[in-house]
Structure formats: C-alpha cells, structure tokens
Amino acid sequence: MSKDTNMADDGLTTTKILDVAAAQIRRHGHVKTNIVDIAKALGTSHTTIYRHFRSKAEVFDAIVAAAMKDEEALAERFVSATTPAAERLLGLVLALHRRKRENFVDDFEVYQLYRRIVDERPELVRSYAAAMTRLLAAIIEDGVRRKEFTVDDIGAAAEVVRDAVTVYVHPAHVEAAMKAGVDLEPLIRRMMMALTAALTSGVSFDAAE
C-alpha cells in the first residue's frame, strides 16, 4: 500500500488539509504558498492533496468558503435570540464588522486571501450575500410578527438592509478604515438607527414599483 493511501486511511480529511494550508498561508502568504508546501507540512505528497482538491485555487476557495460559513453561523445566533428585532439587526452587523476587524489584526495573511477571493470568485460572494439576506429577512419577519416592524415586503427590506451595511462588513472597506484609524462602529449604529426607525414607522415597497 502506498504512502498516499496510508495517509488517506489514517484520516487525512479536507478539514485537516485546509487547517494546514491556512497555517502555511499565515507563514508564507497566499502568493508563495503552493500544494507542495501544504503536502510537505502534512507529511505526504502533492498527489494526495489532489485527491481532495483539484488545484491550489480550489484549496484557497475552500478556506474562504469556510470562513464565510463561520460568519453565517455567527449571524445565525441573532436570528434565534429573543431580544427586540432592532437590537438583533444591530448586533448582527456589529458582530460581522468586529469579526472582520479582528481577523485583519490577528490573521492578516488569511484576511488578504479572503479579500482576493471576494474579488475573484463572484459566485462565492453571491452565495454569502444570499445567506446573509435570508438571515436578515428572518429577523425582520420576526419583527413584523411581533409587531415591532411594519413592512409589506420582507425580502425587499432585507435586501435594503444588506446593501446599506455592506460597506461596513466588506473586507476591503474594513481594511481601509483600519489603516486610516477610522472607527466605523458609531457610523454603523447611526445607520442601523435610521434603518430600524424606518422599519418601525412602516415601509411600503409597493410605492417603489
């Protein structure tokens, strides 16, 4: 039995490959990291990696997709909370912003990979945006159910909130603000105050048709 097969039988999983790949990116940066580096760090050959991923690009995509899933899980906590919907919307946006900011400081090389993938893989961005829009819609729908919000089109309201706050959670904008020493949280709070005030007063999207 070959060394590659032994490694596979011993539990070389996609998760383990991605963890080691991320560690290599932190050490060398995503430009210099390649499949051979990842394989050496795992103690196997590059052919073993190719049994799980077809290319370095696919490995990198998977790292960023996992980070996006982690952010979705973070956002989901606010959907199931019992606090007022306006507080949950604010909390969700602040949590995503803070996660991006923390990753910029604590995991800079992987953060740069995230930025690059956001620019190069629109399909991943569309999937992420759709997931976040569904979570925002769930909170807004609950707010309507609890008579905290008055909205005639929950999906449209969720899209408006998503579009309005994207600048505060997009990795490029977060990085620019961090480098400029700009604290975005007061701006986020004002933006969300305006948005939730509109939802509370009542928004009819029929008039916009």
pLDDT score at 4: 41
CATH number at residue 33: 1.10.10.60
- pLDDT above 50 for 7: no
When pLDDT is averaged across residues 159-185 and rounded to a whole number, the result is 96
Same domain (yes/no): 47, 102 = no
203/103: higher pLDDT = 103
49 in Cβ contact with 40 (< 8 Å): no
The percent of residues above 90 in pLDDT, for the chain, comes to: 86
Assigned domain for 108 exists? yes
Q: Which domain holds residue 45?
A: 3-54
Domain count, the chain: 2
CATH number at residue 131: 1.10.357.10
pLDDT score at 2: 35
pTM: 0.88
* Mean pLDDT, all residues of the chain: 91
Same domain (yes/no): 180, 82 = yes
When pLDDT is averaged across residues 3-26 and rounded to a whole number, the result is 74
